[in-house]
């Protein structure tokens, strides 16, 4: 029974990820959006889609789907980040952000609340302004929704690549 619930949660989560990504892509404007992939600590891989000015002028929305290894277990999750550029001097930019994520795995669900700081380098001088590499760090808290456990603080670090269009 527990395995069936876990499988159902995974299917529902994957359905939500696909629906959010399709919705974001279909409402995308022609400039300022991006798609990317990242990895880091904790070990895992994340794909994300960013929508420029989705929340208001200057505040972007990033939708992420990820698989991460944590404590010898695999978790799958979806997250949202509100992001704002705090400094930009081509080809570099720095940004701040924050948001929630929900993860499922090993019969539990976790709510992650985090803040992030990152920087991106765009390959403007090489004639590839659409391509960027970035690094970011996160600080937050994870709360076990099924068992009431908590991990405070949580830390993360990521390296990734973005394609802007």
pTM: predicted TM-score of the whole model, two decimal places: 0.80
pLDDT tens-digit profile of 38-80? 999 999 999 999 999 999 999 999 999 999 997 788 999 999 9
Buried b (16+ CB within 10 A) or exposed e, 59-91: ebbbbbbbebebeeeebbbbbbbbbeeeeeeee
What dotted CATH number matches 2-164? Answer: 2.40.160.20
**Residues 6+ away with beta carbon under 8 Å from 134:** 36, 38, 118, 119, 120, 121, 158, 159, 160, 161, 162
- Alpha-carbon distance of 71 to 105, in angstroms, equals 11
* Spans of all domains in the chain: 2-164
Quote the tokens at residue 31.
């400039």
- Give the mean pLDDT of 24-49: 81
DSSP character for 141? Answer: E
How far is Cα 14 from Cα 9, in angstroms, rounded to an integer? 9
pLDDT at 107: 86
Q: Across all residues in the chain, what is the average pLDDT?
A: 87
Rounded-to-integer distance, Cα 130 and Cα 124, Å: 8
**Which of 66, 103, 101, 59 is CA-nearest to residue 82?**
59
pLDDT score recorded for residue 70:
77
pLDDT recorded at residue 29: 46
Q: Dump pLDDT digits (tens) for 103-115.
A: 999 888 999 999 9
pLDDT at residue number 148: 86
Q: Kindly report, residue by residue over 121-141, the tens digit of the pLDDT.
A: 999 999 999 999 999 999 999
Q: Give dist(CA 88, CA 22) in Å, integer.
A: 30
């Amino acid at each position: 029974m527990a395995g069936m619930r876990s499988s159902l949660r995974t299917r529902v989560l994957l359905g939500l990820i696909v629906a959010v990504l399709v919705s974001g892509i279909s409402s995308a404007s022609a400039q300022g959006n991006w798609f990317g992939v990242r990895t880091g600590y904790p070990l895992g891989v994340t794909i994300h889609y960013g929508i420029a000015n989705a929340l208001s002028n200057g505040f972007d929305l990033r939708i992420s789907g990820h698989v991460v290894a944590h404590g010898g277990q695999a978790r799958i999750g979806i997250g949202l980040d509100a992001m704002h550029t705090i400094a930009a001097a081509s080809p570099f930019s720095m940004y701040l952000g924050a948001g929630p994520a929900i993860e499922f795995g090993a019969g539990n669900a976790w709510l992650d609340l985090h803040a992030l700081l990152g920087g991106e380098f765009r390959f403007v001088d090489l004639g590839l302004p659409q391509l960027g590499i970035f690094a970011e760090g996160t600080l937050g808290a994870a709360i076990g929704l099924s068992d009431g456990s908590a991990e405070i603080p949580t830390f993360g670090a990521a390296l990734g690549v973005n394609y802007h269009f």
